[in-house]
Amino acid sequence: MVTGTCFADMGNNVTFIELEEKKVEKINNAMPPIHEERLDELLRKNMERIKATVDYDALENADIIFICVGTPSMEDGSIDLSYIKNTAEKIGEKLKGKWKTVVVKSTVTPGTTEGIVVPILEKISGKKAGRDFGAAMNPEFLREGKAVKDFMNPDRIVLGVMEKKSEKMLRKIYEPFHAPIFITKPSTAEMIKYASNALLATKISFSNEIGNLCKIMGIDTYEVMKAVGMDHRISPHFLNAGAGFGGSCFPKDLRAIVSMAKKKGYEMELLNSVMNVNEKQPLRMINLLEKHIGKLKEKRVAVLGLAFKKGTDDIRDSRAIVVIQELLKREAYVSAYDPLAMENMKKMFGGIEYCSTINDAIKNADACLIMTDWDEFSSINFSIMKKPVVIDGRRVVKDKRGIIYEGICW
């Protein structure tokens, strides 16, 4: 959605091919099927250059085809490439007429573009990559919540290419973004994406580990990390301790690279630890909760924040999921609120109360857990709770007067 809309904003004609009719209809009515800052505005502005369809015949006039389908985890943590393979088959059937360059933008494990996508395209089309059509890998580094801004202002564009013609076409389409372009081979481009996400996730788990120790020792971890981040070799980003990382990328990408490494005979000890710290982190919220209100059975616990971060309605691998599961296991009543993500969470948990306001969620609650860093959680009137116990997983609460406040790492 973001890739296509932003390319349209740069003056390109964009056709979205999407399997879900409902999403196609929404896009054609200038309504984005996901929430992202400025996405609705950009979509509306560029509708004359945008259309959406379920029909792969629309590929006929394409010069560049970006594959942006999901690459979730399989049960064992390894990458599920079924959407990628399926898409490559469908594109293969339409590789006719003029030259087309097929670009894998989805996050895929190293070797996928050359070892899986290209062979499928060649087999189905009967054509040869490099001679009859182009193939490339172009990882995406945007952050959800700031996706449009990040796509429009990239730190770098990584292009994993196999021949000059595709490189030229991709350089041209990315020219208006005025970003450094890094040319490499597809498998390296694929690894760059995993290495970037793995390092960012490592920074978060590292900060959580330091934060956990700081809490025990009565040291303010945010003060510590502020000074740590002033070192230009480290940078101040991704150093905020809290309830851990979730989302559609870090958890599944870490699982994928660790699982791939294992299949290659290499155990990624550091990244396994990064995942372990992240799994345990949200459960600290439950321990802190029990410290204050005892057994959770039949207690009313408000969970504020269901999205994995602010600015999105995405709940994939959200830390709130782990916490709600644990609360339900301990037979607590859960009242939940999120400004954007409740509809998505309803598909996952039916047995909790979804409240349309913060006040409805916290009213008469025995305690409140803050799981997402929404700005509106900074100044809540907690006095309507039965007992104003607030466990903050994101360091958002500013006014702590009259409440029993405890931070996860502070």
Ligand X SMILES: NC(=O)c1ccc[n+]([C@@H]2O[C@H](COP(=O)([O-])OP(=O)(O)OC[C@H]3O[C@@H](n4cnc5c(N)ncnc54)[C@H](O)[C@@H]3O)[C@@H](O)[C@H]2O)c1
Q: Does 87 help bind ligand X (rule: CB under 6 A)?
A: yes
For ligand X, the binding residues in 168-207 under the rule CB under 6 A are none
Q: Is 355 a catalytic residue?
A: no
Q: Does 18 help bind ligand X (rule: CB under 6 A)?
A: yes
Residue number with CB closer to ligand X (87 or 207) = 87
Contact with ligand X (CB under 6 A) among 19, 195, 230, 234? 19
Closest C-alpha among 207, 289, 205, 192 to residue 245: 205
Q: Does 257 help bind ligand X (rule: CB under 6 A)?
A: no
Question: From the CB of 4, what's the least distance to ligand X, in Å?
Answer: 11
Contact with ligand X (CB under 6 A) among 248, 278, 335, 372? 248
Angle between helices 283-293 and 269-280 (to 10 degrees): 30
Residue of 6, 68, 249, 368 marked active site: 249
Stretch of 140-148, 262-270, 287-295, 339-347 contacting ligand X, by CB under 6 A: 140-148
The DSSP letter of residue 267 is -
**Reduced to 3 states, what is the DSSP secondary structure of residue 410?**
coil
Contact with ligand X (CB under 6 A) among 5, 101, 107, 221? 107
For residue 158, which phi and psi values (nearest 5 degrees)? -105, 125
CB 364 within 8 A of CB 383: no
Q: Does 318 help bind ligand X (rule: CB under 6 A)?
A: no
How big is the CA angle at 29 (ends 27 and 35), to the nearest 5 degrees? Answer: 50
Stretch of 12-20, 127-135, 303-311, 345-353 contacting ligand X, by CB under 6 A: 12-20
Q: Does 166 help bind ligand X (rule: CB under 6 A)?
A: no
Q: How far apart are CA 10 and CA 154, in angstroms?
A: 14
Question: From the CB of 203, what's the least distance to ligand X, in Å?
Answer: 17
The DSSP letter of residue 373 is -
List, in sequence order, every residue forming a beta bridge with 159; answer none if it has no partner. 183
Helix (H) or strand (E) holding 24: helix 21-28
Question: From the CB of 86, what's the least distance to ligand X, in Å?
Answer: 5
Strand duo 134-137 + 14-17: pairing: unpaired
Stretch of 136-144, 198-206, 235-243, 283-291 contacting ligand X, by CB under 6 A: 136-144
CB 177 within 8 A of CB 152: yes
Which residues of this chain interact with ligand X, rule CB under 6 A?
17-20, 23, 68-71, 83, 86-87, 90, 106-107, 140, 142, 144, 248-249
Active site residues: 249
